[in-house]
Structure 1
Amino acid sequence: MSNSPRDRVADANEASKVAQVTFAFWIMKICATTLGETAGDLLSMTLGIGYAFSTVVLLAFFFATLGAQLASRRFHPALYWAVIVSTSTAGTTMSDLVDRSFGLGYGLGASLLAACLVAVLLGWRRDVGTLSVERVRSRRTEAWYWTAILVSNTLGTALGDYLADSSGLGFLGGAALVGTAIALVAAAAAFTRIDRVVLFWIAFVLTRPFGATFGDLLTKPVDAGGLGFGTSGSSLVLAAILLLLVAASSRATRDTTAA
């Protein structure tokens, strides 16, 4: 099924409803995904709600924020980042449910989720004709966009847990490895002609395990290789930082609109 001419015109000519990819975008993305890890663990483990019920609650939060995002007519930074956080928190508990409760393990879980992400991206490309996120305006394109983000954040959780727990690298080693990979992608964007859409999705996936491993580093006790800040304290600090960044982004958006 191909995208309609009306959808193509909307995506090509109208202002995008999603955040522009800048350096600030990646800082906010890492902060949001790290918050998703700590907040998801806070709900499922610290509060003892469990992975299954937490997943139901957080998926409801995701669909509520997504519905508001799809219904909006223009880009709203607070709403956009609320959906990003909801995909991160829901992705955390969904990954834990599959990998831990269902017993698939981090390696197999990550492999299955990677296959799902490839299928989503291929379906998006076939339906819309491009995976570019420079212009995302029609609901059809936006639905593919958010589906890819939800799956990539779930994949990132499983991959981050695999690196931190199963690979032997530990929380700090896993974060260092993924951080190095992100730096290499940034260097490729700056100094090579590799397709920017490909680099975007590689970086987007990698920032999730970085957030997962960094979140574990913040929350886990010292004797387990973490810094011992706990899920509550880490989530509050990360939420405060993200709110400040969203406020700055909202002000910049208003100034641009006024100009």
Structure 2
Amino acid sequence: MKIAATTLGETAGDLFAQTLKLGYFLTTVALLAIFVVTLVVQLRSRHYNPFFYWTVILTTSTAGTTVSDFMNRDASGEYLPAGTTSLGWGPQGLGLGYPAGATILVSLLLAVFAVWKLSGLPFALNDIDTFRGEVLFWVAILVSNTLGTSMGDFLSDSSGLGYAGGAALIAGLLAVLLALKYVPSVPNVLLFWVAFVLTRPLGATAGDFLTKPIAKGGLALGTLGSSVVLLVVLVAFMAVTARRQHALQHSFRHALRR
């Protein structure tokens, strides 16, 4: 579900910013506003709701795509669609480049974790049950998804691996993390956060592989069609998760009555 959400975040972010030519700046502002709305809904929920939770994951992924693009890219032909000289209203991008952008985002993520550590609140997902803890969790998710986008775009555009090669590299690293899960001395909380960061560049490279032109190594399926298919897949997973959650709650209430 996380890979589907991050891949959809890449294709949907590119759909708004590039295909619809709203630009990185306007799209970033709009998607960050949508993220805040979905986060408020999630924070006000008293119980775990798969639709609320995964909608926030999706909005952090989509917003992270355009935040990363705005930070790292500019109005040069290297980053704009063919025949396009500008995207939307406002600044076309800060042009920091992937190394500088990644350094800033890594520093921000470490700062979030430092504040989190000093707060004394738990890092384990199942133990996050306070307002402050959940806010720190979602800020870390937003920054990690933005960082993951930068990593994925670097692998796709600048590393020489291409879209498929970058996706294969990240998939291999995730397989290593899966193997480390069975090593008792490696904390599962650490594996969770490393995997959470790495699923974002996998989504970025996979999304680019689906949408970019064949001449650039992609499948040229388009941002709109790819986004629709990925949205259907993610919603289907949400429905399965919600049904499973409902069944567990029903079984628990039945056991209490007995």
Q: TM-score, normalised by structure 1?
A: 0.88
The offset of 1:88, in angstroms, is 0.4
Q: For residue 18 of structure 1, what is the aligned residue in structure 2? A: none
> Any runs of at least 4 consecutive aligned residues in structure 1 with deviations exceeding 6 A, and if so which?
none
Of residues 184-193 and 31-40 in structure 1, the stretch that sits farther from structure 2 once superposed is 184-193
| Residue number among 48, 52, 60 corresponding to 1:75 in the alignment | 48
Deviation string for 1:31-81 (max 9, x for gaps)? 001000000000000000000000011011000000000011101100111
Letter in 1 for 2:61: S
Q: For residue 61 of structure 1, what is the aligned residue in structure 2? A: 34
Q: 2:123 aligns to what SS in structure 1? A: coil
Structure 2 Cα separation of the partners of residues 64 and 177 of structure 1: 35
1:37 aligns with 2:10: yes
Aligned-residue identity in percent:
51
| Residue number among 211, 214, 221 corresponding to 1:229 in the alignment | 221
Query: More helix by proportion, 1 or 2?
Result: 1
CA contact (8 A) 1:128 1:141 kept: no
Q: How does 1:105-254 map to 2 (within 5 A)?
A: 105-254=97-246
Letter in 2 for 1:179: A
Q: 1:251 aligns to what SS in structure 2? A: helix
Structure 1 Cα separation of the partners of residues 5 and 56 of structure 2: 10
Runs of 5+ unmatched residues, structure 2: 74-92, 252-258
Q: For residue 77 of structure 2, what is the aligned residue in structure 1? A: none
Runs of 5+ unmatched residues, structure 1: 1-27
Letter in 2 for 1:114: V
The offset of 1:192, in angstroms, is 4.4
Structure 1 Cα separation of the partners of residues 14 and 184 of structure 2: 38
CA contact (8 A) 1:91 1:150 kept: yes
Q: TM-score, normalised by structure 2?
A: 0.88
Letter in 2 for 1:255: A
Structure 1 Cα separation of the partners of residues 180 and 53 of structure 2: 27
Q: Find the structure with the greater CA-based Rg.
A: 2
Structure 1 Cα separation of the partners of residues 124 and 111 of structure 2: 16
Deviation string for 1:141-166 (max 9, x for gaps)? 00000000000000000000011111
Question: What RMSD, in angstroms, separates the aligned Cα atoms of the two structures?
Answer: 0.8
Structure 2 Cα separation of the partners of residues 128 and 215 of structure 1: 37
Deviation string for 1:87-136 (max 9, x for gaps)? 00000000000001101111211121111111111111111343111222
Structure 2 Cα separation of the partners of residues 44 and 212 of structure 1: 15
1:92 aligns with 2:65: yes
The offset of 1:193, in angstroms, is 2.2
| Matched residues, number | 232
Q: 2:111 aligns to what SS in structure 1? A: helix
Q: For residue 20 of structure 2, what is the aligned residue in structure 1? A: 47
CA contact (8 A) 2:10 2:61 kept: yes
CA contact (8 A) 1:29 1:207 kept: yes
Of residues 128-137 and 239-248 in structure 1, the stretch that sits farther from structure 2 once superposed is 128-137
